[in-house]
Amino acid sequence: MTGEWGIYIVLYFWLAAMGGGAFLIALGLRDDRAKRSGAFLAFIGIVIGALLLVVDLGQPARFWHLLAGFHPISVMWLGSAVLALSGLGLFLMLILREWPDWLVWVTAILVLLVVGYTGVLLMATARPFWSASPLMPWIFLASAYTSGAALLVLLGNREPGLHRIAFNFALIEIVLVAAHLIWTYPAAQQQVQAALTGELAWAFWGFVLLGVALPLYMEAQRKAAALSALLVLAGGFLLRYFIVYAGQVGVLRF
Amino acid sequence: MPKANDYAILFDASHCTGCRACQVACKQWNDLPGEATVNTGSYENPPSLSADTWLRMKYTEGVVSDEVFWDFTRDACMHCSSAACVEACPTGAVNYREGGVVTVDQDWCIGCRNCVQACPYDAIHYDEHKGVVEKCTLCYDRVSNGLQPACVTSCPTGALHSGSYADMKQLAETRLAQLKEAGYKDANIYGLAEMGGTHVLYVLLKHPSTYGLPVGTVTEKKKVASGWLSAGIAAAVLGYAGVHWVAERREQVGGERR
């Protein structure tokens, strides 16, 4: 391990966003079963994601140090706190037959924070590709909704609004990513080039073509909804992959 | 801002010959191993700071209108008063000690590397064998016992000084005035405003950016605040759009069924 934020972080960003997005969207649907499966998906994503984060630490056995103090300015600390609390809220939702309104609201806000803080975490670094534009939280939130809707579609939810959400947010996402690349280019030329034409081009173009363009085309043609949803999920992974790795291009490790 | 009695180091680039005695002294005092590096065509070595190199000389070289220039700067922790590493640390392991010194409590560090990503000087690094981060301690073990930092004692040209912040600032201002008088019109002091004021001050002959030093640094607090502001607006705008689209689509489908 060279100390860069690597594959565990990418997987965590992806799982938490997918599960969290599915939960937040399911709450907006009328179907109670969808809400429950959304809570289940978010719980799984957050538990596995949290385990990945612990494994990624240099001292995994000390993970509890995170919860032993109060450091709200540290985005990492706040993220750990909302991650733990949202897991608790989702667990309560899974074991309770009737959901009190406050529990739904509190858990929804916590899950929204889990999905959103990752963007703030990257923005609050000295890495220009992450911090030179304010769009990181926008991209991660839009992508969480795209992936969340796709995950619900993949699991057989027939709500027509889901396709609309996945379609529109995928469009927003690609516009945001393009805006981010242009915005950060003056400060992060080397990193943007790595994403567009360099060592991470496979992930970037994989995201653009397989994760956004092809599903949008299939959606417009109303073909193979499940396959298109699967491609959107893979795109969500590739998006986070190239963002996390491109941000650290040029950081010397020898 | 640093307090008058805080510990401080002054680096005077106009006296530095790039001999790297400070770099070696740092390794010796802190018992840091040497590193296997590859020649990149520069005398600068190693190419960056690391968990095993807390201080190095940075060489900036090139040609401007047929004139060769070869400038040296110190590359190490600046011991900021508003330190990004401290504010990014989720456990409080990286923290301010007495006299404004920033150090890592290695028994409390969990190895999350958030400080590594946050530092604008790339001065804190992850040690993969220990699973924690490492950085310059301003020789806290020496200065708290009345000694000078190892790097300062080794400097043969008087480019490095240490003492109270007030004294170092005074010394920097005196030297700056001398340099200006000697015709170095671009001479400046670096570190007075950066990151809340740094406990390591530089007297430079040229603009800081020519030495690769970050200018217009933004404190971690401000970055975090603008991050949350952006995330809040994003959540409101995108959330509203999502709710709107679901409702609109539901009405459309309801209409078709009727």
- pLDDT, one tens digit per residue, over B143-169 is 999 999 999 999 999 999 999 999 999
Residue A109, chain B, CB below 8 Å: the answer is: no
C-beta of residue A170 within 8 angstroms of C-beta of residue A215:
yes
CATH code 1.20.1630.10 for A7-247 = yes
Give the strand order in the sheet containing B7-12.
B160-164, B7-12, B200-204, B188-190
Residues of A in contact with B93 (CB under 8 A): 65
**B68-87 residues touching A, CB cutoff 8 A:** 84, 87
pLDDT above 70 coverage of chain A, percent: 98
ipTM above 0.95, yes or no: no
| Mean pLDDT of all residues in A34-62 | 96
CB contact under 8 A, A124 and B126: no
Residue B215, chain A, CB below 8 Å: the answer is: no
DSSP state of A59: S
Q: Tell the burial category of B152 from Cβ atoms under 10 Å away from its Cβ (0-12, 13-18, 19+).
A: buried
Cα A82 to Cα B162: distance, rounded to the nearest angstrom: 44
**Quick one: tokens of B12?**
């005077």
Residue A156, chain B, CB below 8 Å: the answer is: no
**B123-142 residues touching A, CB cutoff 8 A:** 125-128, 130-132
CB contact under 8 A, B108 and A65: yes
**Quick one: tokens of B59?**
């060489």
Residue A243, chain B, CB below 8 Å: the answer is: no
**Tens digits of residue pLDDT in A211-226:** 999 999 988 887 778 8
Q: What is the pLDDT of residue B256?
A: 60
Bridge partner list, B64: B67
Chain A nearest-CA distance from B216, in A, is 12
At residue A109, does pLDDT exceed 90? yes
Confidence of residue B9 (pLDDT cuts 50, 70, 90): very high
- From the list A144, A92, A136, the residue with the least C-alpha distance to A243 is A136
Cα B234 to Cα B256: distance, rounded to the nearest angstrom: 33
Q: What is the pLDDT of residue B258?
A: 46
Q: Which range is least confidently modeled, A233-247, B56-70, B141-155? A: B56-70
Q: What is the pLDDT of residue A253?
A: 66
CATH of B7-211, one of 3.30.70.20, 1.10.30.50, 3.10.20.30, 3.30.1360.40: 3.30.70.20
Q: Which range is least confidently modeled, A101-110, A195-204, B38-47, B211-220? A: B38-47
**A60, closest residue in chain B (CA to CA):** B110
What's the CA dihedral at A40, A146, B228, B84 to 10 degrees?
Answer: 90
Contacts of range A218-226, beta carbons closer than 8 Å, 24 or more positions apart:
A219/A163, A219/A166, A219/A167, A220/A167, A225/A153, A225/A163, A226/A153, A226/A154
Domain segments of chain A: what residues?
A: 7-247
Comparison of pLDDT for A220 and A95, the residue scoring more: A95
Average pLDDT, chain A: 94
Q: Report cis status (omega within 30 of 0) of the bond before B149.
A: no
Q: Give how far the C-alpha of residue B124 lies from the chain's centroid of Cα atoms, to the nearest Å.
A: 8
Average pLDDT, chain B: 94
Cα A176 to Cα A31: distance, rounded to the nearest angstrom: 31
Q: Which range is least confidently modeled, A160-164, A240-244, B26-30? A: A160-164
Q: What is the pLDDT of residue A119?
A: 97
C-beta of residue B219 within 8 angstroms of C-beta of residue B84:
yes
At residue A29, does pLDDT exceed 90? no
Beta strands in B13-138 (DSSP E): 55-64, 67-76, 94-96, 102-104, 125-127, 132-134
Residues of A in contact with B209 (CB under 8 A): none
Q: Which range is least confidently modeled, B27-31, B59-63, B223-227? A: B59-63
Q: What is the pLDDT of residue A1?
A: 41
**Count of A-B CB contacts under 8 Å:** 176
Residues of A in contact with B50 (CB under 8 A): 254
At residue B257, does pLDDT exceed 60? no
**Tens digits of residue pLDDT in A137-152:** 999 999 999 999 999 9
